Amino acid sequence: MVQRTLAIIKPDSVEKKVIGDIVKRIEEAGFKILGLKLTRLTENQAKAFYEIHKDKPFYNDLVKYMTSGPIVPIALEKENAVEDFRKLIGNTDPAKAEKGTIRNIYGTNIERNAIHGSDSPENGEKEVLFFFSLCELL
């Protein structure tokens, strides 16, 4: 099934100047880019995006990190996009992520892990629409 998924190049990757390297890997893996922009989250926007984690011990630090600098949300489409993209980025903890995955290559630690990927087709749809309005999506 053709699915949509949301990637976010996180503030640590933007800071490291690896936006281009990461986008190249995503394109080479066969994903079609439907939308891409450089933007920055407000505290309330970051809180809303990660609402599902609001009771986790890492929530406040996560919100601080995700609002610490610019990010690059990317709307992606592909057959089996959600699962394939999670494979491309690897484990949440870069130290546990398989060699050659984006988090293994560019991540710093379990918080500053370079990139976001939606975890289900439903969340893929929802998260794409969190960042992109219908008229922005090709």
Asked if 123 interacts with ligand UDP (CB under 6 A), we say no
Is 53 a catalytic site residue?
Answer: no
Phi then psi dihedrals of residue 6, to 5 deg: -105, 130
Kindly state whether residue 119 participates in binding ligand UDP, applying the rule CB under 6 A.
yes
**Measured at CB, which residue is nearest to Mg ion?**
119
- Residues 2-41 binding ligand UDP (CB under 6 A) are none
* Residue recorded with tokens 């503030």: 11
Put the strands of the sheet holding 2-9 in their side by side order.
32-36, 72-79, 2-9, 115-117
Which residue among 19, 29, 33, 110 contacts ligand UDP (CB under 6 A)? 110
CB 1 within 8 A of CB 79: yes
Give the span between the Cα atoms of 137 and 65, in whole angstroms: 27
Which of 21, 83, 111, 125 contacts ligand UDP by CB under 6 A?
Answer: 111
Residue 84 partner contact from ligand UDP, Mg ion, none using kind-dependent CB cut-offs of 5 to 8 Å: none
Cβ-count burial 9-22 (b if 16+ within 10 Å, e if not):
bbbbbbeeebbeeb
**Residue choice 93, 119, 130, 137 for contact with Mg ion (CB under 5 A):** 119
* 111 lies in the site for Mg ion, by CB under 5 A: no
Residues that bind ligand UDP (CB under 6 A): 53, 58, 62, 92, 110-111, 113, 116, 119
Catalytic residue numbers read 116
